[in-house]
Amino acid sequence: MTRYVTKAEQKWDEARVRGVNMPSCTLWDGGHDVVTRLFRLPKGCQLPRHKHAVWVQIFIVSGKMHVDLGDRTLEAGDFYFVEPEDTHIETALEDTELFIVRYANDPQGARITPSDAPG
């Protein structure tokens, strides 16, 4: 069945990703082995060095960020695909919104926990 999520229906929560608090909105976590989320990283936010056991796709909706893997600065409209086991650090150079699609069964995942949980 086709699923639609309008802007008005998006539910934003505070998430803790790799020890960093940020707003997150799950758009799809309903099967097909895929999870789709939006994340908002405030300027200066850095996701520390990490890797994923499976692929992750990232589209920059707005803002600008730096990815140390390949020493790349990316901005709104840019996309990158992280291969399994590629270690990287991501830093928001501006307030940045990301659209992320990843394999649902990543044992390392984005490590999302409620924001009040310890890192």
Confidence of residue 107 (pLDDT cuts 50, 70, 90): low
Confidence of residue 109 (pLDDT cuts 50, 70, 90): low
pLDDT score of 118: 34
pLDDT score of 115: 40
Q: What is the pTM of this model?
A: 0.84
In this structure, the number of other CB atoms found within 10 A of the CB of residue 31 comes to: 7
Q: Is the pLDDT of residue 40 over 60?
A: yes
Confidence of residue 6 (pLDDT cuts 50, 70, 90): very high
CATH class of 10-111: mainly beta
Amino acid at the residue 10: Q
Average pLDDT, the chain: 87
Confidence of residue 61 (pLDDT cuts 50, 70, 90): very high
In this structure, the number of other CB atoms found within 10 A of the CB of residue 48 comes to: 11
Instruction: Report the C-alpha gap between 18 and 115 in whole angstroms.
Output: 11
Question: Domain coordinates of the chain in residue numbers?
Answer: 10-111
Using DSSP, state whether 32 is helix, strand or coil.
Answer: coil
Instruction: Report the C-alpha gap between 37 and 43 in whole angstroms.
Output: 19
Residue 21 structure tokens: 């608090």
pLDDT digits 0-9 by tens, 78-95 = 999 999 999 999 999 999
